[in-house]
């Protein structure tokens, strides 16, 4: 658990992060979202002491980080940034092995971990271990950057706009991978982005920042339904709200009995995808397929009800 | 090929033209020969650059040429050429001055590297120091070389006279010491500024990642910053090495020795052959140093820089 307690950072007297209090539960993804310059990066970098707070405290699992030497704290916390920050003169394998080496892991253990992570990110170890970073595509570099951050099995992973430089298709894939990895290892992730769509897709909780202040911290559904300020509402996009709401749930959770005609939709798809398909094909209902069997239907009427503002 | 044939033939013709038993007559290639050699050398260099050979291949070619020339020299087919006749009468002096020359050039560069890289590091870390140091070094660089050699005579003579033990170490107003100090001073700016530029060009994202992963300042420097700056630092060393091999000839003017001794003796006696005895090895040495270090720079920067 990360407890941020009334933290403030001033540069030349100007508060860049202003009295932020935030609790991040273990094994969740907290997405910090806001316009550029709102202090997201500064807030995140105070968690691993890359920035010293002007006042306030941060505790990790109850322990005040002020008492931990910065380099020791950082070796316990994964850190991935936009533009990956890979060391251009070291191989993919050496890059991933950075923190294990700093921690003094033995060679075999490190090598095994490197291969394990490469496989996890769908990069064939034999093929990629000895490549140089500039020999990889942007998406591959980004995956290696995250693999490097996870190398020493940290409980906490900090990510600063990790997908900012990726094209939409590769970004969607990377987000999917991140969710899978988070579920598998139970890592607590703090992710910074300026993209509300990404925040809603990834976040267990979303923390909205503006001009250094924390405006609202809540689940995506709560934020969409009850934005705390007009600024939060604007960030979500007023006209987007029903679709954002639908994108939060899966078809599987809202199957109705009945039989519909035509091409079925997968139960793992989001309600938003189902809604799009309904509108596009001009049908009132779609059959739902789960493990190859038709288990019911989703209807236009049902989805319209779900998309409406919760009472 | 043409060049090689020319080199072999020039030796032949010289032997043919020298009257037997006459050790004073000098047969030297005329200006036309030197022009031709120069033109062909340019052509060859140009062709080699165009081929974009890998670095080790360039070093290999350099070795092959050096080997071929050594073979020609050793076979004695050039022995009747004027410059080599000069060599014959000064064999011992030639190698002694060669040693002096190498010690001056390489020694000053080594000393400047040992002092300049840490100085560059300090300039990189502390901004106010950076401007001050680079300004001073810039001024040193603009002092004409002979003036700098001259300027150093007085203070070093004073040191030799007043510091006990200094003269025992070989420090004196004239000779190798002021030459060494002057060459060192000239080398410092390129090495310090290249160290600073090299360190500044290291990707900020890589440095940030290194910090964020828990590297200490020392580890960051040794594992990330210096290795990434190394090709640029090496380029600085290459510049001063080539520069100092040339400049070291001037050291002869203040009694510092080196190939310059033959050049200035030759100029004094208007003996072109003697000038060449000093000049040709200097040029060859500088050229070889440039080729080898360029290749090294390329080898170390491969993969290290983003394309
Ligand atoms: N080291 C620094 N010195 C001075 N100002 C800074 C520094 N770092 C960030 N800032 C300022 O703090 C504000 C917030 O920056 P940042 O946390 O990077 O915002 P975000 O990540 O939300 O875009 C910006 O206005 C930026 O100019
Ligand atoms: Mg930022």
The answer to whether the CB atoms of B304 and A98 lie below 8 A apart is no
Order of strands, edge to edge, in the sheet holding A2-11? A14-24, A2-11, A55-60, A63-64
Give dist(CA A181, CA A163) in Å, integer.
16
Q: Return the pLDDT at B307.
A: 35
Q: Return the pLDDT at B85.
A: 78
Question: Burial of B97 by CB count in 10 Å (0-12 exposed, 13-18 middle, 19+ buried)?
Answer: buried
Give dist(CA A254, CA A150) in Å, integer.
36
Q: Return the pLDDT at B275.
A: 86
Q: What share of chain A is helix, strand, coil (3-state, %, to 5)?
A: 45, 25, 30
Best residue among A14, A36, A37, A190 to mutate for probing ligand 1, ranked by most atoms within 8 Å of CB: A37
The pLDDT confidence band at residue A84, using thresholds 50, 70 and 90, is: confident
Cα dihedral B291, B296, B299, B304 sign:
negative
CA B292 to chain CA centroid, Å, is 11
Q: What distance in Å separates residue A90's CA from the closest CA in chain B?
A: 8
CA angle A105/A106/A111 to nearest 5° reads 95
Contact A274, A260 (CB under 8 A): no
Atom 16 of ligand 1: nearest residue by CA position: A39
pLDDT digits (tens, 9 = 90+) for A182-222: 999 999 999 999 999 899 999 999 999 999 999 999 999 99
In this structure, chain A runs to a length of 311
CA distances from A308 to A224, A276, A301 (A): 11, 16, 11
Contact B201, B226 (CB under 8 A): no
Of B137, B154, B271, nearest to B192 (Cα)? B137
Best residue among A16, A164, A213 to mutate for probing ligand 1, ranked by most atoms within 8 Å of CB: A16
Q: What distance in Å separates residue A80's CA from the closest CA in chain B?
A: 7
DSSP letter at B19 equals P
Alpha helices in B201-271 (DSSP H): 204-212, 217-219, 226-247, 260-268
Mean of pLDDT over chain A: 93
The answer to whether the CB atoms of A85 and B228 lie below 8 A apart is no
Give dist(CA B282, CA B280) in Å, integer.
5
Of A55, A76, A73, A40, nearest to A6 (Cα)? A55
The answer to whether the CB atoms of B206 and A88 lie below 8 A apart is yes
Contact A120, A152 (CB under 8 A): no
Q: Return the pLDDT at B65.
A: 86
The answer to whether the CB atoms of B303 and A87 lie below 8 A apart is no
Order of strands, edge to edge, in the sheet holding A293-299? A265-266, A285-290, A293-299
**Those residues with Cβ within 8 angstroms of residue B209's Cβ, 6 or more apart along the chain or in another chain:** A79, A81, A84, A85, A86, A87, A145, A148
Looking at the CA of A82, name the nearest ligand: 2
Chain B partners of A50 at a C-beta cutoff of 8 Å?
208, 211-212
Whole-prediction pTM value?
Answer: 0.81
Of A32, A26, A82, nearest to B208 (Cα)? A82
Say whether pLDDT at A245 is over 90. Answer: no
Which one is predicted more confidently, B296 or A43?
A43
Highest mean pLDDT (candidates A53-62, A293-302, B86-95, B279-288): A53-62
Give dist(CA B98, CA B103) in Å, integer.
9
Out of A72, A88, A99, the one facing B305 most closely (by C-beta) is A88
Give dist(CA A66, CA B92) in Å, integer.
71
Give dist(CA A52, CA A42) in Å, integer.
9
Distance (angstroms) between ligand 1 centre and the Cα of A37 equals: 6
The answer to whether the CB atoms of B219 and A102 lie below 8 A apart is yes
Give dist(CA A151, CA A110) in Å, integer.
9
Closest-CA residue of chain A to B228: A89
Of A183, A176, A164, A5, nearest to A85 (Cα)? A164
Q: In this structure, which residues have their CB less than 5 angstroms from ion ligand 2?
A: A 41
Contact B69, B13 (CB under 8 A): no
Return the minimum-mean-pLDDT range out of A14-23, A58-67, A166-175, B75-84.
Answer: B75-84
Q: Return the pLDDT at B305.
A: 45
Out of B203, B214, B224, the one facing A99 most closely (by C-beta) is B214
A226-245: burial string, b at 16+ Cβ within 10 Å, e else: ebeeebbeebbeeeebbbbb
Chain A partners of B307 at a C-beta cutoff of 8 Å?
134
Q: What distance in Å separates residue B238's CA from the closest CA in chain A?
A: 21
Contact A27, A156 (CB under 8 A): no
CA atoms within 13 A on the CB side of B267: 11
Order of strands, edge to edge, in the sheet holding A188-193? A77-81, A156-160, A188-193, A29-34, A205-210, A213-218
The answer to whether the CB atoms of A71 and B205 lie below 8 A apart is no
Tell me the average confidence (pLDDT) per consecutive run of 10 residues in chain B, 307 residues long: 59 52 55 73 75 83 87 78 79 87 92 94 88 82 74 73 70 74 87 92 93 95 93 93 90 82 86 85 89 87 51
- Atom in ligand 1 nearest the alpha carbon of residue A209: 22
pLDDT digits (tens, 9 = 90+) for A110-137: 999 999 999 999 999 999 999 999 999 9
Looking at the CA of A15, name the nearest ligand: 1
Indicate which of B214, B225, B233, B299 best probes the interface with A, i.e. most A CBs within 10 Å of its own CB: B214
The answer to whether the CB atoms of B203 and A50 lie below 8 A apart is no
B138 three-state secondary structure = helix
- Atom in ligand 1 nearest the alpha carbon of residue A12: 4
Say whether pLDDT at A226 is over 80. Answer: yes
Question: Burial of A2 by CB count in 10 Å (0-12 exposed, 13-18 middle, 19+ buried)?
Answer: buried
- Atom in ligand 1 nearest the alpha carbon of residue A45: 17
pLDDT digits (tens, 9 = 90+) for A3-32: 999 999 999 999 999 999 999 999 999 999
User: Which positions in chain A have a beta carbon within 8 angstroms of at least one beta carbon in chain B?
Assistant: 48, 50, 70-75, 79, 81-89, 98-99, 102, 132, 134, 145, 148-149, 158
Give dist(CA A296, CA A239) in Å, integer.
30
Q: Return the pLDDT at B4.
A: 61
Looking at the CA of A17, name the nearest ligand: 1
Domains and CATH numbers, chain B: 2-18+31-82 (no CATH), 91-258 (1.10.3720.10)
Give dist(CA A135, CA A138) in Å, integer.
10
Q: Return the pLDDT at A288.
A: 92
Of B245, B259, B234, B236, nearest to B287 (Cα)? B245
Count contacts between A and B (CB, < 8 Å).
70
Beta strands in A61-172 (DSSP E): 63-64, 77-81, 156-160
Chain A partners of B212 at a C-beta cutoff of 8 Å?
48, 50, 74, 79, 81, 85, 158
Give dist(CA A93, CA A60) in Å, integer.
30
Q: What distance in Å separates residue B232's CA from the closest CA in chain A?
A: 14
How many C-beta atoms surround the C-beta of residue A111 within 10 A?
Answer: 16
């Amino acid at each position: 658990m990360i407890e941020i307690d009334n933290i403030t950072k001033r540069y030349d007297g100007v508060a860049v992060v202003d009295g932020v209090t935030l609790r991040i539960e273990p094994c969740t993804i907290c997405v910090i979202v806001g316009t550029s310059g709102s202090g997201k990066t500064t807030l995140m970098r105070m968690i691993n002491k890359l920035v010293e707070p002007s006042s306030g405290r941060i505790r990790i699992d109850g322990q005040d980080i002020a008492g931990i030497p910065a380099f020791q704290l950082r070796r316990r916390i994964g850190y991935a940034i936009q533009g990956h920050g890979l060391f251009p003169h070291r191989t993919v394998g050496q890059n991933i092995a950075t923190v294990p080496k700093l921690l003094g892991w033995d060679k075999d253990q490190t090598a095994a971990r490197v291969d394990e992570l490469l496989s996890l990110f769908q990069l064939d170890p034999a093929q990629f271990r000895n490549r140089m970073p500039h020999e990889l595509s942007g998406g591959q570099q980004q995956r290696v950057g995250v693999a490097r951050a996870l190398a020493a099995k940290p409980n906490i992973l900090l990510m600063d706009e990790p997908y900012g430089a990726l094209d939409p298709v590769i970004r969607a894939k990377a987000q999917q991978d991140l969710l899978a990895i988070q579920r598998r290892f139970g890592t607590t992730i703090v992710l910074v982005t300026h993209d509300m769509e990404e925040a809603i897709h990834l976040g267990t909780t979303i923390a909205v920042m503006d001009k250094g202040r924390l405006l609202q911290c809540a689940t995506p559904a709560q934020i969409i339904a009850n934005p705390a300020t007009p600024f939060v509402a604007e960030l979500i996009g007023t006209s987007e709200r029903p679709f954002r709401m639908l994108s939060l749930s899966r078809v599987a959770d809202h199957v109705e009995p009945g039989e519909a005609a035509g091409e079925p939709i997968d139960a793992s798809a989001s309600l938003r995808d189902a809604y799009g398909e309904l509108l596009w094909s001009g049908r009132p209902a779609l059959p739902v397929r789960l493990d190859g069997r038709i288990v019911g239907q989703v209807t236009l009427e049902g989805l319209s009800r779900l998309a409406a503002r919760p009472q | 090929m043409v060049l090689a044939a020319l080199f072999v033939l020039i030796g032949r013709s010289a032997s043919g033209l020298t009257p037997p038993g006459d050790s004073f007559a000098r047969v030297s290639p005329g200006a036309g020969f030197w022009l031709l050699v120069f033109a062909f050398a340019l052509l060859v260099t140009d062709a080699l650059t165009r081929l974009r050979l890998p670095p080790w291949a360039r070093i290999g070619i350099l070795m092959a040429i050096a080997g071929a020339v050594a073979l020609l020299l050793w076979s004695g087919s050039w022995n009747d050429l004027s410059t080599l006749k000069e060599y014959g009468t000064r064999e011992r002096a030639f190698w002694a001055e060669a040693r002096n020359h190498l010690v001056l050039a390489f020694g000053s560069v080594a000393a400047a590297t040992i002092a300049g890289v840490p100085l560059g590091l300090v300039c990189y870390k502390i901004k106010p120091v950076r401007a001050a140091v680079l300004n001073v070094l810039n001024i040193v660089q603009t002092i004409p070389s002979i003036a700098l050699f001259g300027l150093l005579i007085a203070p070093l003579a004073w040191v030799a006279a007043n510091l006990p033990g200094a003269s025992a170490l070989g420090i004196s107003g004239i000779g190798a010491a002021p030459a060494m100090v002057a060459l060192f001073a000239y080398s410092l700016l390129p090495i310090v500024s290249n160290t600073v530029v090299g360190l500044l060009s290291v990707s900020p994202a890589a440095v940030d990642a290194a910090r964020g992963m828990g590297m200490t300042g020392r580890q960051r420097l040794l594992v990330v910053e210096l290795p990434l700056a190394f090709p640029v630092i090496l380029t600085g060393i290459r510049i001063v090495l080539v520069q100092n091999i040339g400049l070291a000839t001037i050291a002869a003017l203040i009694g510092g020795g080196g190939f310059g001794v033959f050049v200035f003796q030759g100029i004094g006696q208007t003996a072109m052959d003697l000038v060449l005895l000093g000049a040709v090895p200097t040029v060859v040495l500088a050229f070889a140093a440039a080729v080898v270090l360029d290749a090294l720079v390329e080898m170390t920067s491969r993969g290290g820089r983003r394309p």
